[in-house]
Structure 1
Amino acid sequence: MNPGRRLLLASAGAEAGAGRSVGGQTRRDTDRIMANSIVSKNFTALSDLHPNMANLKIIGIVIGKTDVKGFPDRKNIGSERYTFSFTIRDSAAHFVNVASWGNEDYVRALSDSFRVGACVIIENPLIQIKDLEREEKFSPATPSHCKLLLSENHSRMKVCSNYEVDTKLLSLIYLPVKESSDYYSLGDIVANGHSLDGRIINVLAAVRSVGKPKYFTTSDQRKGQRCEVKLYDETESSFAMICWDNESILLAQSWMPRETVIFASDVRISFDKFRNCMTATVISKTIITTNPDTPEANILLHFIRENKETNPLDDEIGSCLKESINLSTIDDVYTVEQLKVKALKNEGKADPFYGILYAYISALNIDDETTKVVRSKCSGCGSIVNEASSICTTCNRDSSEFKSAFLSFDMLIDLSDHTGTLHFCSLTGSVAEETLGCTVNEFLAMTDEQRTALKWQLLLERTKIYLKVSLLHRARARLRMSVLSCKLADPVEASRSLSG
């Protein structure tokens, strides 16, 4: 850790002393208060668990949860048993893993009844000594030597309303399960590169963007899902974290980009050969704390708030370049032919119009060395900077006067449907990043073969495209088609919209 960061941490620690952060004496006080609260309500504290106990009643807040999975039942050939697990906490220092086994209806109903952040009361669980070597390889590491088992016949679980629960218990959701200073910065991960490949580490970072979940079916007909979250901090502007399970995807969908900080305990770091960069993956051991109340997280939160509006380099295309139109207000659907007719009718009008197009990307020259895909842009106005002279012709500023330049996607694509083709549609900035699924730096690190593979992933896939159509009076190409969003289309939605 660098000296400057140590000073910041010391300062933040002093300021956060009266907050929710728990450390040292504050942590002991919280444990004592929680223990007194639990005893007074006839609950058994997690710190007191041992295998010979019976008829227990335990209360805790859920800090982690896995998906339901089915396994062949060796006792009943041809049938399956189902299971899922979660982690509960009743004090700063104590949390345990809970597993449920049973038939599909029971296990799925139990799993669907709560999410991370819920407070639950568990009655009559079975207490077992956990096998450290075997279980903590796939489950979150806990300070307890015990684990809890829930069975349909003997155990009961109730989800509590937050109004019924002591606020001290609710506040535990903001405490990471690892020491608040025990993490890698994103810059450290990138700098260490291959040496961290396969390692399981902790990460503290801010959420830059949350992708939409993508659903798929494997070759053996199993359903799957995937969601990519882009993270950033003071040391790295973009870093991918992949979620493969439904529980972590649901949690990620609740995060507000550029307003949320997460502490991800026990994520797997790996080198992505396709994108030629390091990535993080949420695994069954991972516990993610949203907006942790720690000095380190408070510093990062202050950083992202300070830089939210003022640092265009973290925003790729800058706030002045972003399209302000709300996509949800665009509902006119066109074919290519209808869009061209509409553009002709609008000739002579200064205002642009907007529409939705269900089409294919029919030309995407991202692997052609003669085609410029990434350009240097002025951070002041967003215009392309002349690479030879380093001058922004729009601002008329030279490199010593304008703030700085940043790299951004700036490319032309063709869009086609059954009625025709729109040539030279503009795909730029963060919209291009979302469409390609990579940042500018990740793209520049790709080999020609990787760029070609990426191109063929996107070509001839039915997409839902939001377009802005502008008339350029003095340009040779009189129409400018700007892509505002380009994502895979839902086949049913596309069919219904086109038939309507």
Structure 2
Amino acid sequence: HLHLCLIFLFYNPFVFQKIIGIVIGKTDVKGFPDRKNIGSERYTFSFTIRDSTTHFVNATSWGSEDYIRSLSDSFRVGECVIIENPLIQTKELEREEKFSPATPSNYKLLLSENHSTVKLCSSYEVDAKLLSLIYLPVKESCDYYSLGDIVANGHSLDGKIINVLAAVRSVGEPKYFTTSDRRRGQRCEVKLYDETESSFAMICWDSESILLAQSWVPQGTVIFAADVRISFDKFRNSMTATVISKTIITTNPDTPEANILLNFIRENKVMNPLDDEIDNYLKESMNLNTIVDVYTVEQLKVKALKNEGKAEPFYGILYAYISTLNIDDETTKVVRNRCSGCGYIVNEASSTCTTCNKDSSGFKSVFLSFDMLMDLTDHTGTLHSCSLTGSVAEETLGCTVDEFLAMTDEQKTALKWQYLLERSKIYLKFFISHRARGGLRVSVLSCKLADPIEASRNLSGQGNVQN
């Protein structure tokens, strides 16, 4: 394995040194002033190679512009290379891992123009097990934030470096520019989505990540982005992710979590291209009189287990308390812009929908809409993160979006306490989802204070309670 190989080479520097691995990450070529030769520049780029499930290492090469650019152009992410005669160095953890991918090894490779070589593996030299490593994330497969978690946490994640698992909604065209010091730059915006968020921007600034992004199939690719920077974009008034020099992106990772998300986007694309939370805007209202089955929270969770693997939603009535409703929390976004054409949440800075607006000629207006989550609790348990949106939210809160936005924080808190811990009759739509908390995505269709006698009758088993 690579780690043991590096230790052996470190203490035996005169033996013939050869390392074979698959390239899992790569940076752009950069030039720096050469301190030894005033007026000239030295060039460098780095890449990360892997040869097992547990071992990968960073390699950096320095040299003349022609050598470095030629070397960088000779291989891409996903290809296997042979490195000969590298210099083995001990990492300076604090300084280097601030800008380079974190690796399990205490060592790094330094490639010199005069002594080291890097070449592509021929087909007979490549082990199939080596090729499969490109689908293995460099972080634990469960160690990531959902896009909904990022949006919900808002400013508390500003500047943090985290992992993200998401599907690719769209990949923008690369845009090129020249900086004030006459260096050429590029930028590409990728729209991500998952079951918790319909559109989230990830920005690529380097040509290597842009090249990788161009290979992604919209609504057909899942990525695990390890160590992206999350920041609050004041211009957009929303959270965004940025690919940095530490980032390693795994395309279509072979993990249980990624496979679940991939199945979701395939089913979602075939069954219904729109989130079921936007039914209020595009479809006829659900006839609540057709919903008669009453559940407890515990019964709902049991039904979710029984319905595992089924794509069709089911409906029911719940007599419960609203136990969480954060409408007065400044870090939680309660009102969002939505597209009047398709109902998706849109870019708040440009008021443009990335779903139905392929260009400016297709512009559709936007409108403000409630978009919040609440917890529902009865004597058997709690349903977390139930979606309360649109006109249903207005009816539940008894105010329009404009009236809500005009309220003071004290008025919002007073409004919240009108509903917290009060028994309500809630009509719900349930969609089985392995990635949602508790295995269920829950949308509120109606929520009103319950008649005490009616609630008591149903809770005592005299109503149409489902077992």
Counterpart residue number, 1:79: 40
83-92 vs 44-53, greater mean Cα deviation: 44-53
Using the TM superposition, give the Cα deviation of residue 158 of structure 1 relative to its aligned residue in structure 2, in angstroms: 1.0
Counterpart residue number, 1:114: 75
Q: Distance in 1 between matches of 2:363 and 2:245?
A: 25
Q: Distance in 2 between matches of 1:442 and 1:138?
A: 41
The answer for unaligned runs of 5 or more in structure 2 is 289-312, 314-336, 343-351, 371-467
TM-score, with structure 2 as normaliser: 0.62
Using the TM superposition, give the Cα deviation of residue 311 of structure 1 relative to its aligned residue in structure 2, in angstroms: 2.2
Counterpart residue number, 1:166: 127
- Name the aligned partner's letter for residue 107 of structure 2: C
Using the TM superposition, give the Cα deviation of residue 94 of structure 1 relative to its aligned residue in structure 2, in angstroms: 0.5
Q: Do the aligned partners of 1:184 and 1:202 also contact (CA within 8 Å) in 2?
A: yes
Using the TM superposition, give the Cα deviation of residue 161 of structure 1 relative to its aligned residue in structure 2, in angstroms: 3.5
Q: Do the aligned partners of 2:339 and 2:366 also contact (CA within 8 Å) in 1?
A: no
Q: Does 1:129 find its partner at 2:99?
A: no
Counterpart residue number, 1:430: 355
Which of residues 243, 249, 253 is equivalent to 2:214? 253
Which deviations, in whole Å up to 9, do the C-alpha atoms of 1:104-134 show, x marking residues without a partner? 0000000000110010000000110010011
Q: Do the aligned partners of 2:338 and 2:367 also contact (CA within 8 Å) in 1?
A: no
Using the TM superposition, give the Cα deviation of residue 218 of structure 1 relative to its aligned residue in structure 2, in angstroms: 1.6
Q: Distance in 2 between matches of 1:202 and 1:315?
A: 27
Cα 1:314–1:398, aligned 2, differ >3 Å: closer, same or farther?
A: closer
The answer for unaligned runs of 5 or more in structure 1 is 1-34, 319-375, 380-396, 412-426, 446-500
Q: Does 1:279 find its partner at 2:204?
A: no
142-151 vs 48-57, greater mean Cα deviation: 48-57
Counterpart residue number, 2:255: 294
Which of residues 2, 10, 14 is equivalent to 1:50? 10
Which deviations, in whole Å up to 9, do the C-alpha atoms of 1:392-413 show, x marking residues without a partner? xxxxx56649x9xx943569xx
Q: Distance in 1 between matches of 2:80 and 2:46?
A: 15
Which of residues 200, 210, 213 is equivalent to 2:174? 213
Among the aligned pairs, what percent are the same residue? 75
Cα 1:293–1:155, aligned 2, differ >3 Å: closer, same or farther?
A: same
Counterpart residue number, 2:400: none
Structure 2 counterpart SS, 1:105: helix
Superposition RMSD in Å: 3.3
Counterpart residue number, 2:140: 179
Q: Distance in 2 between matches of 1:97 and 1:442?
A: 48
Q: Distance in 2 between matches of 1:437 and 1:236?
A: 23
Which deviations, in whole Å up to 9, do the C-alpha atoms of 1:405-456 show, x marking residues without a partner? x943569xxxxxxxxxxxxxxx9873536549999889989xxxxxxxxxxx
Q: Distance in 1 between matches of 2:363 and 2:162?
A: 23
Q: Distance in 1 between matches of 2:362 and 2:123?
A: 39
Counterpart residue number, 2:414: none
Which of residues 277, 282, 300 is equivalent to 1:378? 282
Q: Distance in 2 between matches of 1:48 and 1:91?
A: 17
Cα 1:251–1:428, aligned 2, differ >3 Å: closer, same or farther?
A: closer
Q: Do the aligned partners of 1:44 and 1:58 also contact (CA within 8 Å) in 2?
A: no
Q: Distance in 1 between matches of 2:20 and 2:364?
A: 44
Q: Does 1:67 find its partner at 2:28?
A: yes
Counterpart residue number, 1:240: 201
- Name the aligned partner's letter for residue 357 of structure 2: A
Q: Do the aligned partners of 1:208 and 1:232 also contact (CA within 8 Å) in 2?
A: yes
Q: Distance in 2 between matches of 1:289 and 1:176?
A: 6
Equivalences for 1:132-147 in 2 at 5 Å?
132-147=93-108
Q: Do the aligned partners of 1:57 and 1:122 also contact (CA within 8 Å) in 2?
A: yes
Structure 2 counterpart SS, 1:70: strand
Using the TM superposition, give the Cα deviation of residue 51 of structure 1 relative to its aligned residue in structure 2, in angstroms: 5.3
Q: Does 1:303 find its partner at 2:264?
A: yes
Which of residues 50, 63, 66 is equivalent to 1:102? 63
Q: Do the aligned partners of 1:66 and 1:84 also contact (CA within 8 Å) in 2?
A: yes
Cα 1:71–1:160, aligned 2, differ >3 Å: closer, same or farther?
A: same
Q: Distance in 1 between matches of 2:26 and 2:361?
A: 31
Using the TM superposition, give the Cα deviation of residue 234 of structure 1 relative to its aligned residue in structure 2, in angstroms: 1.1
TM-score, with structure 1 as normaliser: 0.58
Cα 1:314–1:434, aligned 2, differ >3 Å: closer, same or farther?
A: farther
Structure 2 counterpart SS, 1:88: strand
- Name the aligned partner's letter for residue 195 of structure 1: S
Q: Do the aligned partners of 1:317 and 1:430 also contact (CA within 8 Å) in 2?
A: no
Q: Does 1:408 find its partner at 2:339?
A: yes
Q: Distance in 1 between matches of 2:225 and 2:257?
A: 13
Cα 1:247–1:51, aligned 2, differ >3 Å: closer, same or farther?
A: farther
Cα 1:293–1:240, aligned 2, differ >3 Å: closer, same or farther?
A: same
Using the TM superposition, give the Cα deviation of residue 312 of structure 1 relative to its aligned residue in structure 2, in angstroms: 3.0
Cα 1:180–1:199, aligned 2, differ >3 Å: closer, same or farther?
A: same
Q: Distance in 1 between matches of 2:206 and 2:108?
A: 22
Q: Do the aligned partners of 1:409 and 1:428 also contact (CA within 8 Å) in 2?
A: no
Cα 1:189–1:317, aligned 2, differ >3 Å: closer, same or farther?
A: closer
Q: Do the aligned partners of 1:62 and 1:89 also contact (CA within 8 Å) in 2?
A: yes
Q: Distance in 2 between matches of 1:130 and 1:195?
A: 31
Cα 1:398–1:301, aligned 2, differ >3 Å: closer, same or farther?
A: closer
Q: Do the aligned partners of 1:46 and 1:90 also contact (CA within 8 Å) in 2?
A: no
Cα 1:118–1:206, aligned 2, differ >3 Å: closer, same or farther?
A: same
Counterpart residue number, 1:371: none
Q: Does 1:200 find its partner at 2:125?
A: no
Cα 1:226–1:316, aligned 2, differ >3 Å: closer, same or farther?
A: farther
- Name the aligned partner's letter for residue 213 of structure 2: A
Q: Distance in 2 between matches of 1:295 and 1:428?
A: 31
Cα 1:430–1:90, aligned 2, differ >3 Å: closer, same or farther?
A: same
**Number of residues of Structure 1 aligned to a counterpart in Structure 2:** 314
Counterpart residue number, 2:326: none
Q: Distance in 2 between matches of 1:123 and 1:408?
A: 56
